Amino acid sequence: MADTRNDLAKAKRTKLCTLLNERLRDSIKLGLCAKQAHWNVKGENFIALHKLFDEVYGEVEDYVDNIAERITALGGIADGSVGALAKSEIPDHPVNKSNWKAHVTALSDELAAYGKLVRKDIDTTDELGDKGTADLFTGISRGVDKYLWFVESHLQD
Ligand SMILES: [Fe+2]
């Protein structure tokens, strides 16, 4: 942890950066899942889903950058390494499927898993006295809820 004039205590900044790095790796993985779906989806609603999955990727890319820069703003090091990514709790997106329903189902599961983690992060970071990070996670949570709705709606009637 770097020394900084930021008044949050170093012990708190360390905890915050650990948590933020966990969600950074999950965000990178979620973005890769969306791209995997964007590239390989076929069938009914092809063009709508192809475009929607890329929109999810674009949204998640913003989360990646905002989380990484929050880490460095707090004096930490953003870890977007492949090794970190391998520890992600987000499920693996199927690599050998093209069926639209398989991609919609998998991405819904991935968005939901990510959304659950982020919702918990809002309270954890608030309890650590960092409203700025809690606010970042609140915005992400709202965005993920919206994209889960957009994707999951294809399975509902
Ligand atoms: Fe593309």
In a domain, 45, yes or no: yes
- Tens-digit pLDDT profile for residues 20-35: 999 999 999 999 999 9
Q: Domain holding 68: CATH number?
A: 1.20.1260.10
- Tens-digit pLDDT profile for residues 101-138: 999 999 999 999 999 999 999 999 999 999 999 999 99
What separation in Å is there between the alpha carbon of 131 and the centre of ligand 1?
36
In a domain, 3, yes or no: no
Partners of 99 in beta bridges: 42
pLDDT at 49 over 90: yes
Q: What is the pLDDT of residue 157?
A: 86
In a domain, 2, yes or no: no
In a domain, 149, yes or no: yes
Which domain covers residue 103, as residue numbers? Answer: 10-155
What separation in Å is there between the alpha carbon of 50 and the centre of ligand 1?
8
- Tens-digit pLDDT profile for residues 60-102: 999 999 999 999 999 999 999 999 999 999 999 999 989 999 9
Tally of domains in the chain: 1
**Tokens linked to 7:** 């008044």
What separation in Å is there between the alpha carbon of 38 and the centre of ligand 1?
7
Q: Count other Cβ atoms within 10 Å, centred on residue 131.
A: 11
What separation in Å is there between the alpha carbon of 66 and the centre of ligand 1?
22
In a domain, 4, yes or no: no
Contacts with 9 (C-beta within 8 Å, 6 or more apart), sequence order: none
In a domain, 63, yes or no: yes
